[in-house]
Amino acid sequence: MTGRPWAFDRPVPSRGYRWWYLDALSADGAHGITIIAFIGTVFSPWYAWAHRRGAVDPAEHCCLNVALYGRPRRWAMTDRRASALHRDPANLAIGPSRLNWDGEALTVTIEEVTAPLPRRVSGTVRLLPEALSDRAFTLDAAGRHRWQPIAARARVEVALTHPALRWSGPAYFDTNDGIAPLEEDFATWDWCRAPMPEATAVLYNARRADGSAQSLALRVRGDGRIEEFEPPPPAEMAPTLWRLPRPTRAEGGTARAVRTLVDAPFYSRSEIRTRLLGQEATAVHEYLDLRRFRSPALYAMLPFRVPRTLR
């Protein structure tokens, strides 16, 4: 990643953030994984409390979030201090876990512990991009938040020792960065990515805090070229157990949630069936409600799921 705009050593300003996101589903549909490496852990109550008091170094709140789906399920998200962070253009270490880009593949070495019940999550995940894209998109009118699909078409090889799992399947890799907290500029957003034989469709719909909205619909070709297309009509799916809506866009205005991967009070991740680019597809979908995230009651709950280390 040396010289790329998503290099791991790029600066992160006070109260800002940068994250790298990877998700994948196994070829047989039985398993799934999401990995997010944060500098400035935007969904950590510890970082939210800190940046609301004023200037704060995002490196003081870094983490590797790992979620496993299927059997067994696991969730690990530990907020760590700056002493746990080490990085250069091709390497990012957060505590005992690390990411490495060798010019051809991204290897994530995981050594994390779940909360509130402590169980190890360890092993390696290797992501092999089909092609890389270098186009970034601004998500707000002031240009404070950006998103870049790095490898919308990729594959992963998962080899975990705790729990013992081995599988492979189609994957996705992107990055977001910003110079202000998300909740200052956004009310909600939803996102999905749907891999298909010739292209991957990616949708990003954001409702901003000022009431304006943005809808992106992208076709990512096998060579990494990104083409915009007319966003399809809105589609509503059944809400989550936390009564979060699951809005998206789909041809014919119809989509269906087939599996809830993460169901939190302010955030959901789901496996859905949708129709995009003239084809039926299985997609990974997310919905984020930053109005709920600001709730004091939620901040009282989150430390049990997002513990903070002493060093």
> Residue 208 forms beta bridges with which residues?
186
Q: What's the pLDDT tens digit per position in 79-91?
A: 999 999 999 999 9
Please choose, from the candidates 101, 94, 114, the residue with its C-alpha nearest in 3D space to the C-alpha of residue 36.
94
The arithmetic mean of pLDDT across residues 58-66, rounded, is 97
What is the model's pLDDT at position 296? 77
What is the model's pLDDT at position 3? 46
Cβ-count burial of 71 within 10 angstroms (0-12 exposed, 13-18 middle, 19+ buried)?
exposed
CA distances from residue 5 to 8, 9, 21, 28, 80 in whole angstroms, order as listed = 9, 10, 15, 34, 25
Return d(Cα 245, Cα 19) in angstroms, integer. Answer: 25
Token readout for 285 is 């979908």
Token readout for 8 is 């791991």
Identify the band that residue 53 occupies on the pLDDT scale cut at 50, 70 and 90.
confident
Between 6 and 5, the higher pLDDT residue: 6
Give phi and psi for 302, each to the nearest 5.
-60, -35
What is the model's pLDDT at position 4? 66
Average model confidence (pLDDT) across the chain: 94
The arithmetic mean of pLDDT across residues 27-38, rounded, is 96
Token readout for 266 is 């302010």
Q: What's the pLDDT tens digit per position in 167-215?
A: 999 999 999 999 999 999 999 999 999 999 999 999 999 999 999 999 9
Residue with tokens 């690390």: 98
Q: Residue 70: CB partners within 8 Å, gap ≥ 6? A: 26, 30, 31, 32
Q: What's the pLDDT tens digit per position in 119-132?
A: 999 999 999 999 99
CB atoms within 10 A of CB 231: 15
What is the model's pLDDT at position 295? 81
Return d(Cα 192, Cα 188) in angstroms, integer. Answer: 14
Residue 1 has pLDDT above 80, yes or no: no
What is the model's pLDDT at position 158? 98
DSSP 233: P
Residue pair 181/51 in contact by the 8 Å Cβ criterion: yes
Range with lowest mean pLDDT among 198-212, 241-255, 286-300: 286-300
Between 305 and 147, the higher pLDDT residue: 147
**R_g over Cα of the chain:** 18
Length of the chain: 311
What is the model's pLDDT at position 228? 97
> Residue 247 forms beta bridges with which residues?
236
Range with lowest mean pLDDT among 1-10, 20-29, 37-46, 146-155: 1-10
Return d(Cα 172, Cα 149) in angstroms, integer. Answer: 8
Residue 303 has pLDDT above 90, yes or no: no
Return d(Cα 127, Cα 23) in angstroms, integer. Answer: 10
Residue 311 has pLDDT above 70, yes or no: no
Residue pair 108/99 in contact by the 8 Å Cβ criterion: yes
- Half-sphere exposure (Cβ direction) of 287: Cα atoms closer than 13 Å: 27
Residue pair 111/97 in contact by the 8 Å Cβ criterion: yes
